[in-house]
């Protein structure tokens, strides 16, 4: 039996026609269709419920308070009854006439079959230069990380044998859109994968949900798989935020000292005050961005954010003290000036990162 998952978010206009054409295409294959909808504002779930009400082989999972293509697909797979699980966009972009071939291929090889835009005979259809280029770069990067190679590891149109799904289930990362890639990164090396060419079609109604945020999450994922075990992604993000904080700090300093002294040289008091305000401005900036991005998985809200902010200030102060102590210590032992300062600064960063991870944003 073939279990086809249709992840949906605002696909109300597409779903009835799509289900009809899928059932035509799968007339000779025993199948079920599972629509996994994330409580779409356009009430896709309601339309899907009506279809499921009249048809025994259509099921709907309505998730409330959750978002994400990959996690929706995994949830669909988990409730599926078939030996082979399939996925396709619920907007008409994937060619449903290939479903029987995808099913047969994954059933026969016990692994994966991919509807492929980049294998001979496939195509991305009418894409603009920019999306084509971005997709090619992302695909090349992604390919280098896969245990099992295919030409289109980012395709959203594929099928996988139940046994292979069960092997990789514990390692899957449910964030974003990269569900097939995640399989190819984690499956055992000897897993078989077959590509079936197709032309990526046009969306029937509505618009793509592949947002900028999803694209950034994708790059983060690539980093995590490639280098995450050497330098954790969270630390890299923390350092990126910190570097931006330096720019905020310098800009804030220039602005405030200009406010006090105009174009003239500031007095020592004005200078010190400007530095102090600039430091706190940078601290606020770092806290907000770290809370929104670096530690988005444990983001603080409301009162907890206020307490977190105070802890963050404390951790930064300790970081600065550690920075000072190490620099002064090395310098007094005859190390070169610049080396002492650099080693001190690194110690400070690692120190306040560690404290913030343990105290401010602890799991």
Residue 158, beta-bridge partner list: 87, 114
The SS3 call for residue 37 is strand
Beta bridge partners of 34: 5, 59
- Scanning 4-12, 190-198, 265-273, 306-314 for contacts with ligand GDD by CB under 6 A, the matching segment is 4-12
List C-alpha distances in Å: 292 to 153, 237, 285. Answer: 30, 11, 11
Give the residues lining the site for Mn ion (CB under 5 A). Answer: 89, 91, 93
- DSSP 3-state of 98: helix
Number of residues that bind ligand GDD (CB under 6 A): 22
49 makes contact with ligand GDD (CB under 6 A): no
Residue whose C-alpha is closest to residue 61's, from 82, 42, 40: 40
Taking alpha carbons only, the member of 115, 86, 101, 116 closest to residue 6 is: 86
Can you tell me the distance from the alpha carbon of 172 to that of 165, in angstroms, rounded to the nearest whole number? 10
Could you say whether residue 325 binds ligand GDD (CB under 6 A)?
no
Judged by CB under 6 A, the residue of 32, 91, 182, 194 near ligand GDD is 91
Nearer to Mn ion, 25 or 239 (CB): 25
Which of 18, 26, 32, 38 lies at the binding interface for ligand GDD (CB under 6 A)?
Answer: 38
Shortest distance in whole angstroms from residue 69 CB to ligand GDD: 4
Polymer length of the chain: 363
Give min distance, CB of 66 to ligand GDD, in A. Answer: 8
Among 2, 9, 287, 361, interactor with ligand GDD by CB under 6 A: 9
Could you give the maximum distance between any two Cα atoms of the chain, in Å?
A: 85
Does position 156 interact with ligand GDD (CB under 6 A)? The reply is yes
User: What are φ and ψ of residue 7, in 5° steps?
Assistant: -75, 135
Among the listed residues 18, 36, 114, 146, the single contact to ligand GDD using CB under 6 A: 36
150 binds ligand GDD (CB under 6 A): no
Q: Which positions lie near ligand GDD, rule CB under 6 A?
A: 7-9, 11, 36-38, 67-69, 72, 89-91, 93, 135, 154, 156, 177, 208-210
């Amino acid at each position: 039996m073939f279990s086809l998952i249709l992840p949906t978010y605002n696909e109300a206009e597409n779903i009835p026609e799509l289900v009809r054409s899928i059932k035509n295409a799968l007339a000779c294959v025993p199948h079920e269709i599972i629509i996994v909808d994330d409580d779409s504002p356009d009430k896709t779930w309601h339309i899907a419920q009506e279809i499921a009400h009249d048809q025994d082989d259509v099921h709907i999972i309505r998730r409330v308070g959750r978002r994400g293509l990959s996690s929706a697909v995994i949830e669909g797979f988990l409730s599926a009854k078939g030996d082979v699980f399939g996925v396709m966009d619920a907007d008409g972009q994937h060619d449903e006439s290939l479903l029987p071939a995808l099913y047969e291929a994954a059933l026969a090889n016990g692994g994966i079959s991919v509807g492929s835009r980049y294998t001979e005979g496939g195509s991305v259809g009418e894409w603009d230069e920019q999306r084509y280029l971005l997709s090619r770069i992302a695909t090349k990067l992604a390919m280098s990380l896969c245990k099992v190679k295919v030409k289109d590891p980012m395709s959203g149109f594929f099928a996988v044998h139940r046994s292979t799904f069960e092997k990789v289930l514990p390692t899957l990362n449910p964030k974003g859109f990269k569900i097939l890639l995640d399989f190819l990164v984690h499956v055992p090396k000897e897993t078989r994968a077959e590509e079936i060419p197709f032309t990526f079609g046009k969306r029937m109604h509505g618009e793509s949900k592949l947002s900028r945020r999803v694209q950034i999450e994708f790059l983060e994922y690539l980093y995590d798989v490639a280098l995450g075990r050497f330098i954790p992604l969270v630390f890299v993000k923390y350092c990126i935020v910190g570097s931006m904080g330096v720019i905020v700090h310098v800009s804030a300093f220039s602005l405030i000292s200009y406010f006090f002294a105009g174009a003239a040289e500031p007095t020592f008091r004005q200078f010190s005050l400007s530095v102090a305000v600039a430091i706190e401005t940078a601290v606020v900036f770092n806290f907000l961005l770290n809370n929104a991005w670096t530690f988005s998985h444990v983001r603080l809200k409301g009162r907890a954010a206020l307490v977190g902010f105070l802890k963050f200030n404390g951790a930064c102060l300790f970081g600065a003290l550690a920075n000072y102590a190490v620099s002064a210590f090395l310098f007094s032992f005859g190390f070169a000036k610049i080396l002492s300062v650099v080693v001190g600064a690194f110690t400070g960063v690692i120190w306040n990162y560690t404290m913030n991870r343990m105290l401010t944003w602890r799991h």
